[in-house]
Amino acid sequence: MSSIQTIIFDFGGVLLNLKQENDWRTQDFFPLFHLQKLKQLKEKNFFEDFEKGKFSAEEFLSKLKTISINPDIKQETIINAWNSILLDIPPHRVSIIQQLKTKYRLILLSNTNCIHTQKFTNDMKEKFGDDILHKYFNTVYYSQEIGCRKPEKEIYHLVMEQQQIKPENILFLDDKPENLEIPKTLGWQTQQVNFNKLSIVDVQHLLN
């Protein structure tokens, strides 16, 4: 671990607590829509393309409205259901970032979308008085802003090229093992974090 100069963090499930995806789908999101039509959208990579910024929030919401069980559904209802997967950033995670920042370059690499970004940014400002991601991370990469997403190889190459960092100097923390596979082949050091469980214990070896 002594060669580490840059730590790359995933966001959801690592720094930001999320609702369990199956619970969110079955309790909050799926009940609003015709499931077969929702499945068809998924098969066409509709949600992945939204995370890549291929269309606007307005287009995203308009499409979902067309497959809603309630034809008069309000846009706000869809937004609230979509955002209900997002929970909170515990203060102890902010402390972790603050401590690591004194020793390492920190980068955030998140698969997200413009609706979620607006929501969690507003929540951060309300809770912490600032956008703590742009405050503490040297660079923040949101998938919808760079046009690619994990686990596509392109996104990892983009980070290395833009940041001018060698793979052996990178530690990447993510809760999904599939997002760690390609970085490993590129020579990154990786560490899988238990979903919603990141604590100082997980990074203590980086602070010693």
Residue 1 in domain:
no
Report in angstroms the alpha-carbon separations of 117 from 57, 75, 83: 11, 17, 10
pLDDT at 131: 97
pLDDT tens readout for residues 102-129: 999 999 999 999 999 999 999 999 999 9
Q: Are residues 174 and 131 in the same domain?
A: yes
User: Do residues 6 and 169 make contact, with C-beta atoms less than 8 angstroms apart?
Assistant: yes
Between CA 121 and CA 130 the distance in angstroms is 9
Q: Is the predicted pLDDT of residue 1 greater than 70, yes or no?
A: no
pLDDT value of residue 157: 98
The span from the CA of 144 to the CA of 90, in Å, is 25
* Residues contacting 130, CB < 8 A, separation 6+: 124
Asked if residue 102 belongs to a domain, the reply is yes
Strand ranges inside 31-180, DSSP E = 105-110, 139-142, 170-174
Q: State residue 189's pLDDT score.
A: 97
Structural domain harbouring 113:
6-18+86-207
Domain boundary among 55, 83, 111: 83
Residues 101 and 117 in one domain: yes
Distance (Å, whole) CA 1 – CA 4: 6
Query: 152 and 49 in one domain?
Result: no
Q: What is the pLDDT of residue 179?
A: 98
Same domain membership, residue 115 and residue 70: no
Does the predicted TM-score (pTM) go above 0.85?
Answer: yes
Last residue of a domain, one of 44, 61, 83: 83
Within a domain: residue 136? yes
The pLDDT, as a whole number, for residue 84 is 98
Residue 10 has pLDDT above 60, yes or no: yes
pLDDT value, residue 89 = 98
Give the pLDDT confidence score for residue 208 in this predicted structure.
87
Question: Which two three-digit tokens encode residue 17?
Answer: 């607590």
Tokens for 42? 């998924």
pLDDT, tens only, 169-207: 999 999 999 999 999 999 999 999 999 999 999 999 999
Co-location of 74 and 114 in the same domain: no
**93-97 contact pairs (CB < 8 A, 24+):** 93/15, 93/198, 94/128, 94/132, 94/136, 95/200, 96/198, 96/199, 96/200, 96/203, 97/9, 97/15, 97/132, 97/136, 97/137
β pairing state of 6-9 and 105-110: parallel
In percent, the amount of the chain with pLDDT more than 90 equals: 99
User: Does one domain contain both 159 and 191?
Assistant: yes
Q: Are residues 10 and 30 in the same domain?
A: no
Backbone φ, ψ for residue 164 (5° rounding): 55, 50
pLDDT digits (tens, 9 = 90+) for 35-69: 999 999 999 999 999 999 999 999 999 999 999 99
